[in-house]
Structure 1
Amino acid sequence: MFVKSEYQKKLVHVKDVLSMINSGDHVVSGLAGAEPKAILSELHTAADSLRDVSIITCLPMGNYEFFGNPQYKDSFLMEGWFYSGFMRKLHANKNITFIPNHLHFASTKRLDYKVPRIYMGNCSPVDAHGYVSLGLSAVYEKDMIEKADLVILEVNPNVPRTFGDTLLHYSKVDYFVEADYQMPELPVTEPNEKDKLIGKHIAELIEDGSTIQLGIGGIPNAVAQALKTKKNLGIHTEMFTDGMVDLVECGAVNNSMKTIHPEKMIAAFALGSKKLYDFINDNPSVEIKKGTYVNDPYVIGQNHKMVSINTSIEVDLTGQCCSESIGVRQISGTGGQADTAIGAQLSEDGKSFIALYSTAMIKDKTTGEIIEKSKIVPMLTPGAIVSLSRNDVDYVVTEYGAVSLRGTSVRERVKRLISIAHPKFREELQKEADALMIW
C-alpha cells in the first residue's frame, strides 16, 4: 500500500545524500541508464571531507567530475565492472580500476568480497500500489539493494516502468531524491559493408524458431537487419537493444517457440534510443531480470536453438578471443561474453558466434604510420586479456566467411581461421604458424 506521507518523509536533496557518505565507504551505482545522474554530478563537491571512497560502477554514461578530474583521486576511486569510453580515456588519471568478472557472477562475487554501505540508482515514480521500477537494469541492482545498509534512489518521471526484477516496494528504499533528466541514449550505428557481410554469414546459420542474444554496434545491427526474414524468433539477452525492437515490429520475433519464458522477452538491462525506451515502458512482454539469472549459462542453455552473437578485438590461431583490451590497456570488459557463448553451446541445437573484422588500421609504434593489421593473429598482443578461452569458442566470423571450431584440433583451427583472414595476410599467417609450430 502506498502512503504518500510516508514517501514524503523519505525525500531528501542531493546535498543531504552527500553528507551521508563517509570516508572509506563502498558505494554501488546503478548500471548505465540506471545510474543516479544528479548525485554523481555533484559527488565531487564533497571531496574535501572524504578519503578513499570506492564508487563501484558498470558502463557509466557520464563524464563525472569525481573521476574525470585527477585532483579528486585521493577522495574517490572508481571501480568498474565494464569500462565506458570515458573510463577508457581517463584510466591514466590513476583513480579508475577494473573488476574482472563474468556478468552473471558480478554481484555475487563482489558481495563475497565487500558488502556496500550505500546503493544509489534511479527509478520510476511510485505507483498507486507503492511500487517503483528500477527501469533500465537489474544486472546487479536488486542484489545490491538487498544487502546495502542505505538505499537511495532518484525518482525520475523519464525512467521507463519495466517489469520483472526491477519492481521494488517504496518501503525498501531509505531515501528518495526527486529528479528530472532524460535517459542517456546511444546513437544507432548504421552497418557498413563489412558489417553487412558478417551479418549475412551469421544470419544464414540461424534457423527459424531460434532464441537470440545480441549486443550493440555495427555488426549486431547488421545481424538484426539480416534476421528480418526469419520466423518465430525469441529474445533472451543480456542487453535489450533497438535492433530487437525492429525485429518485433517486422514480425520476425514473436517469442512463440521459446523453451523458457514463452511469449516473453528476457533481458538483464536495456540501453539505446528513446524509441527503445518507449517500447519497453509499461510493456508486460519485456521482463528485466537479475543478471545472476539471465546470464547464467545453465539458464541460457535451457532455450532450444539458443544463439549468442558477440564481437572481439582479435582472435589467435588457436581460437583464443581478446574482446576487452588492446594489449594491457583495458577498453571495455568481459561482460556476458563467456556467459552467453557457453550457455548457447549448452543449448540443444544452439550456436555461439564471435564476429570481428579481418583487419584493423593501427598506428605503427616505430614509424608512427597508420598500417593495416590482421585481427586474426598467431598470438594475441602481449598483455591481451583472454575474454573467451579457446575451449569455449564455437563459430568465428569475419567478412570472409564463418568457420566452426567446435571439436576441432589446433591444426584444423589454424587452417580454418586462416581461411577467413584477409587474403593479403593468409600466407604470412601460415608461415608464422609453421615457424612457431602452433599446430
Structure 2
Amino acid sequence: MSSYLVSYNKKMRSPGQAVAEVKSGNWVDYGNFACAPLTLDAALAERVNELEDVKVRAMTFPGLAAVAKADPTATRFIYNNWHFSGGDRKLHDAGNCFYVPFLFHEGPGYYDIIDSDVFLVAVAPMDERGYFNFGTSNSIQMAVAKKAKKVIVEINRNIPHCYGGFNEGIHIDEVDLIVESDHKPLFQLPSSTPSEIDTRIARLIMEEIRDGSCIQLGIGGMPNAVGKMIAESDLKDLGVHTEMLADSFVDMFEAGRITCKFTRYCPGKMAYTFALGSRKLYDFLDRNPFCASYSVDFVNKPSNISMNENMVAINNAVEVDLFGQVSSESSGPRHISGTGGQFDYTFGAYHAPGGKSFICLSSTTKGKDGQLVSRIRPTFTPGSIITVPRTVSHWVVTEYGKVNLKGKSTWERAEALISIAHPDFRDELVEEAQKMGIWRAGDRKHKIQSPNLQLKTA
C-alpha cells in the first residue's frame, strides 16, 4: 500500500466526525459553485443547537445551504456569500444570507487579511500521486486552503478531473480530514432558450466579432445566444479567456470555431477559473488537455485579460443609468447576484488591442404590477449598487441598438443611451435628462423619439 493510501485511511472520517472540528465563533469557508460541500453542509447543519456564532462563507451555492435553512434567524449560523445563486437570493430575501462585496480577481488576496478556521470543499477522488483535483471550481479555493487552519475534503466521483493551469488541486499532505459524499451528480444549470430579444442583441454583438477574437461570456440567455450564433457562424480561430466556462463554449468548440491559435495569453488553451453548466460540459472538461483551469487572480487579472488581442467580453446588467453607470447585482437594496468578474472583464477587454466589452440588457422589464419598466433609467433606484462606473463602461447594447460610451460627454451619453431605450420611454428619459442638466437643447428630442428613425448605433 502506498504512503498516500496509508495517509488517506488515517484521515478518513464520517461527515459527523469531520464537522466536529467546527467550533463556536469559527469562520467556515465552503467550496465554490458546483463543488460546494453538500454532505458536510448537511452534517454541519445538524449541529445547529450545539454551536453559536459560526460564520459561513460560500460562493454561488447550488440550491439552499442547509446551515442557513437550519437557522432562519441567522444567530447560530451566519451565512455569507461572495456571489448569489438563485437559492442564495431566496435566503437573502428571507433575511439569512449576507453578501460579501469583492472584485473576483482580488478574491485570493483577501485571504491575506481575513480569517478562515475550517475549509470544507468537494473534490475529485485522489489520484495516484496524492492530489485531489478541485474540478470545476478552481476560483479562490487554493488561497482558502492555505489560510484555513483545517482543510476537510469531501470526495465526489462525479467531479471531473480538470487540468491546469495552476492551483487546480491540493495534495493529501495539505488535507486534514477526508469524507465520502453520496456521489450525486454535480449541480447542472437549467437549460435556457434565448428569447427573441436575446437573439436581437446577440446579432448586434456578432457584428463586432472577427476571426481570431478571444471570447468571454457571462451567465444567462443572452451570452448563450451569442455562443449559439458563433457555433452556427463561419468565424474561425477564436480563443477563450473567460472566468466562467459554459455549455456554449463546448458548442463552439465542437463546431470548429475555437482553436485558441492566436490567443496571446495561455496560447492553445481554453483558460477559465470555474465551469457551470450541464453534464455535457463536465464530461468535456474531464482530463481534457485543451482546457486549463487557473485561480481567479490569474484569469481575471485585468492586465492578463488585456494581453489578448481582439478580446470580446459579453455580460448582462440589471440597469444602466443615463450617465453610463451599470448596475448588475442589485435592484435597490435587494441583492440579486454579485460583482463577480464583470468589472474585471469590462476594464481588461477595453485595454486589449482591438478589445471591446459589451454590457447587454433588454430595454424593459416588468414591474411587480405587471407594467413595463425601462431598464435604461435617469438614475438608479436608491440603494442600487454600481457594478461598473461610468468611467469604465464601454459598449451598451439593447434590442434597439448598441452605443459606445467611451469619450462621450454627459449629454452625448444621455443621447446615445436614450437612442437604444424602448421608444415608449424616450420622451420621459429626455425630460429627466433635461432636469439633470445632461441634455443639449435642439432638435435631437424629436429624432430620439421618432420610432421610425433608423437609430444611430455607434
TM-score (norm. length: structure 2): 0.92
**Cα distance in 1 between the residues matched to 2:243 and 2:3:** 32
1:83-108 deviation line (CA, Å, top 9, x unaligned): 11122122244332111111011231
Task: Select 1:358's aligned residue among 360, 363, 379.
Answer: 363
1:149-172 deviation line (CA, Å, top 9, x unaligned): 111111111110011121322221
The equivalent residue for 1:125 is 125
SS of residue paired to 1:46: coil
The equivalent residue for 1:425 is 425
> CA-atom RMSD, angstroms?
1.3
1:186-207 deviation line (CA, Å, top 9, x unaligned): 0221111100000010111111
The equivalent residue for 1:10 is 11
More displaced 10-residue stretch of structure 1: 214-223 or 84-93: 84-93
**Cα distance in 1 between the residues matched to 2:208 and 2:245:** 22
**Cα distance in 2 between the residues matched to 1:2 and 1:125:** 16
**Cα distance in 2 between the residues matched to 1:34 and 1:411:** 47
How many pairs were matched up?
433
**Cα distance in 2 between the residues matched to 1:129 and 1:97:** 39
The equivalent residue for 2:203 is 200
- Between the two proteins, what is the percent identity of the paired residues? 39
The equivalent residue for 1:435 is 435
1:254-306 deviation line (CA, Å, top 9, x unaligned): 11110011110110100100000000001111111101111110111111111
**Cα distance in 2 between the residues matched to 1:377 and 1:226:** 30
SS of residue paired to 2:223: helix
Q: Summarize the Cα distance change of 1:352–1:71 in structure 2 as closer, same or farther, 3 Å threshold.
A: closer
Contact 1:70 1:93 survives alignment (8 Å)? no
**Cα distance in 2 between the residues matched to 1:130 and 1:392:** 44
Contact 2:72 2:96 survives alignment (8 Å)? no
Contact 2:220 2:316 survives alignment (8 Å)? no
The equivalent residue for 2:350 is 345
- Cα displacement (A) at 1:353: 0.3
Q: Summarize the Cα distance change of 1:91–1:287 in structure 2 as closer, same or farther, 3 Å threshold.
A: same
**Cα distance in 2 between the residues matched to 1:92 and 1:122:** 27
Task: Select 2:218's aligned residue among 206, 209, 215.
Answer: 215
Q: Summarize the Cα distance change of 1:70–1:93 in structure 2 as closer, same or farther, 3 Å threshold.
A: farther
Q: Which amino acid aligns with 1:218?
A: G
Matched, 1:283 2:288: yes
SS of residue paired to 1:224: helix
Contact 1:13 1:177 survives alignment (8 Å)? yes
After superposition, residues 396-415 of structure 1 pair within 5 angstroms as 396-415=396-415
Matched, 1:43 2:44: yes
Q: Which amino acid aligns with 2:180?
A: E
- Cα displacement (A) at 1:376: 0.5
The equivalent residue for 1:385 is 385
Task: Select 1:170's aligned residue among 144, 157, 172.
Answer: 172
Contact 1:314 1:321 survives alignment (8 Å)? yes
Q: Which amino acid aligns with 1:303?
A: N
**Cα distance in 2 between the residues matched to 1:83 and 1:175:** 28
**Cα distance in 2 between the residues matched to 1:21 and 1:107:** 22
Contact 1:44 1:72 survives alignment (8 Å)? no
- Cα displacement (A) at 1:49: 1.3
- Cα displacement (A) at 1:383: 1.0
Q: Which amino acid aligns with 2:301?
A: D
- Cα displacement (A) at 1:70: 3.9
Q: Which amino acid aligns with 1:210?
A: S
Gap runs ≥5 in structure 2: 440-458
SS of residue paired to 2:237: coil
**Cα distance in 1 between the residues matched to 2:301 and 2:352:** 12
Gap runs ≥5 in structure 1: 364-368
**Cα distance in 1 between the residues matched to 2:52 and 2:338:** 27
- Cα displacement (A) at 1:413: 0.7
The equivalent residue for 2:311 is 306
The equivalent residue for 1:366 is none
SS of residue paired to 2:20: helix
**Cα distance in 2 between the residues matched to 1:83 and 1:216:** 12
The equivalent residue for 2:445 is none
**Cα distance in 1 between the residues matched to 2:324 and 2:70:** 40
The equivalent residue for 2:266 is 261
Task: Select 1:188's aligned residue among 191, 197, 221.
Answer: 191
Q: Which amino acid aligns with 2:185?
A: Q
1:180-229 deviation line (CA, Å, top 9, x unaligned): 11100002211111000000101111111011110221100111112222
TM-score (norm. length: structure 1): 0.96
Contact 2:321 2:377 survives alignment (8 Å)? yes
